[in-house]
Amino acid sequence: MSKNRINFIATLGLAILLSFVLPWWSIMIAALLSALSIPLQKAAVFFIPFLAIVVFWILYCFILSSANDFILAKKIAQLLQIGGNPYLLILLTGIIGGVAAGISGILGKQLSVVFLHKK
Amino acid sequence: MKYVTLVITLVLTLTIFYVLNTKMGSLPPLGQFLNPVSGIWQNETDESISGAVSIPGLTDKVTVHYDEQLIPHVFAQNEHDLYKAQGYITAKHRLWQLEFQTHAAAGRLSEIFGEGALTYDRTERRRGMGYGAEQVIAYMKQHDPETLGFMQDYADGVNAYIDQLHPNDYPVEYKLLDYTPERWSIKKSSLLLMYMTKTLAGYDDDLEYTNVLRLIGKENFDLLFPDFFDSTDPVIPSNTDWSFIDVPQTPLPASKAVLDTIPETIAKPHPDNGSNNWAISDKKSATGNAILANDPHLSLNLPSIWFVMQLSTPSHNAFGATIPGALGVISGFNQHIAWGETNATRDVIDWYKIKFNDDRTQYRYDNQWKDVMVRVEDIKVKGRENFKDTVLYTHHGPVVYDVNFKSDNERSGYAMRWIAHDGGNNQKTFIELNKAKNYDDYVNALQHWNAPAQNFVFASTQGNIALWIQGKFANKWEGQGKFLMDGSKPENDWQSYIPKRFNAHTKNPERGFVSSANQHPVDENYPYYVFNDRYETYRNRVINDFFASKETFSVQDFKDLHNNNYNLKAAELVPYMLEHMETSSLSEDEKTIYNEIKAWDFNNDINEVGPSIWRQWYGKLYTMLWDELDSDTMALTKPKTYQTIYILKNYGNHEFMDIVETKDKTETAKDLFLLAFKAAAKRLKEIKEKDGDYTWANYKGTHIGHLLQGLPAFSRFDIPIGGDRNIVNATSEDHGPSWRMIVEMTSPPTGLGIYPGGQSGNPGSKYYDNFIDDWAAGTYHSLNFMQSDQKTTDIIGSQTLKPKQNE
The residue extents of the domains of chain A are 3-115
What's the CA gap between B57 and B60, in Å, rounded? 9
Share of chain B above pLDDT 90, in %: 90
The answer to whether residues B36 and B771 touch, using CB atoms and an 8 Å cutoff, is: no
Asked if the Cβ–Cβ distance from A60 to B31 is below 8 Å, we say: no
Asked if the Cβ–Cβ distance from B30 to A64 is below 8 Å, we say: no
CB pairs under 8 A between A and B: 114
Q: Is the pLDDT confidence value at B348 over 60?
A: yes
Q: Tell me the torsion sign for CA atoms B405, B406, B412, B418.
A: negative
A31 interfacial to chain B (CB closer than 8 Å): no
CA distance A1 to chain B (A): 28
- The whole-chain average pLDDT of chain A stands at 93
Q: Is the pLDDT confidence value at B805 over 80?
A: no
Asked if the Cβ–Cβ distance from A110 to B6 is below 8 Å, we say: yes
Looking at the DSSP assignment, which residues form a beta bridge with residue B298? Answer: B736
Residues 89-118 of chain A whose Cβ lies under 8 A from any Cβ of chain B: 89, 92-93, 96-97, 99-100, 103-104, 106-107, 110-111, 113-114
Which site among B5, B16, B168, B302 would you substitute to test the A interface, given the most A Cβ atoms closer than 10 Å to its Cβ?
A: B16
Looking at residue B546, its pLDDT comes to: 98
- The whole-chain average pLDDT of chain B stands at 95
What does each C-alpha distance from B512 to B196, B507, B508 come to in angstroms? 31, 10, 6
Looking at residue A1, its pLDDT comes to: 64
Q: From the CB of residue B589, how many other CB atoms can be counted at a distance below 10 Å?
A: 13
Asked if the Cβ–Cβ distance from B713 to A28 is below 8 Å, we say: no
The answer to whether residues B431 and B147 touch, using CB atoms and an 8 Å cutoff, is: yes
Asked if the Cβ–Cβ distance from B17 to A25 is below 8 Å, we say: yes
Long-range contacts from A10-13, C-beta under 8 angstroms, 24+ separation: A10/A34, A10/A37, A10/A38, A11/A48, A11/A49, A11/A52, A11/A53, A11/A101, A11/A105, A12/A52, A12/A53, A12/A55, A12/A56
- CB nearest to A107's CB, from B13, B35, B713: B13
Q: Is the pLDDT confidence value at B806 over 70?
A: no
CA distance A25 to chain B (A): 7
B497 interfacial to chain A (CB closer than 8 Å): no
Any residues with CB less than 8 A from the CB of A44 and at least 6 apart, and which?
A4, A7
Nearest-5° Cα angle at B600, B598 to B606? 145
Helix (H) or strand (E) holding B804: none
The response to whether B347 counts as a known ligand-binding position is yes
Q: Classify residue B173 by burial, with Cβ atoms within 10 Å: 0-12, 13-18, 19+.
A: buried
What's the CA gap between B535 and B519, in Å, rounded? 5
Looking at residue A114, its pLDDT comes to: 87
ipTM over 0.90: yes
Mean pLDDT of B691-698: 95
Q: Tell me the torsion sign for CA atoms B784, B790, B794, B795.
A: positive
The answer to whether residues B290 and B722 touch, using CB atoms and an 8 Å cutoff, is: no
Mean pLDDT of B183-194: 96
Residues in B touching A75 (Cβ below 8 Å): 713-714, 763-764
Catalytic residues of B: 275
Residue type, B398: P
- CB nearest to A114's CB, from B6, B30, B40: B6
Looking at residue B87, its pLDDT comes to: 98
Looking at residue B132, its pLDDT comes to: 97
Asked if the Cβ–Cβ distance from B42 to A78 is below 8 Å, we say: no
What does each C-alpha distance from B583 to B260, B597, B613, B622 come to in angstroms? 45, 14, 16, 20
A18 interfacial to chain B (CB closer than 8 Å): no
What's the CA gap between B352 and B401, in Å, rounded? 10
Which residue of chain A is at minimal alpha-carbon distance from B716? A75
The answer to whether residues A103 and A46 touch, using CB atoms and an 8 Å cutoff, is: yes
Asked if the Cβ–Cβ distance from A92 to B34 is below 8 Å, we say: yes
A88 interfacial to chain B (CB closer than 8 Å): no
Q: At what angle do helices B186-201 and B79-106 cross, to 10 degrees?
A: 60
Which site among A32, A36, A64, A114 would you substitute to test the B interface, given the most B Cβ atoms closer than 10 Å to its Cβ?
A: A64
Which residue of chain A is at minimal alpha-carbon distance from B2? A114
Closest-CA residue to B463 (of B548, B551, B337): B337
The answer to whether residues B760 and B93 touch, using CB atoms and an 8 Å cutoff, is: yes
Looking at residue A119, its pLDDT comes to: 59
- CB nearest to B44's CB, from A57, A73, A110: A73
> Could you tell me the residue ranges of all domains in chain B?
573-602+609-692
Q: Is the pLDDT confidence value at B807 over 60?
A: no
What does each C-alpha distance from B737 to A84, B306, B491 come to in angstroms? 30, 11, 41
The pLDDT tens digits of the residues spanning B399-430 come to: 999 988 988 888 899 999 999 999 989 999 99
Which residue of chain A is at minimal alpha-carbon distance from B28? A80
Q: If pLDDT is split at 50, 70 and 90, which confidence band does B259 have?
A: confident
Which residue of chain A is at minimal alpha-carbon distance from B8? A107
B44 interfacial to chain A (CB closer than 8 Å): yes
End-to-end alpha carbon distance in chain B: 63
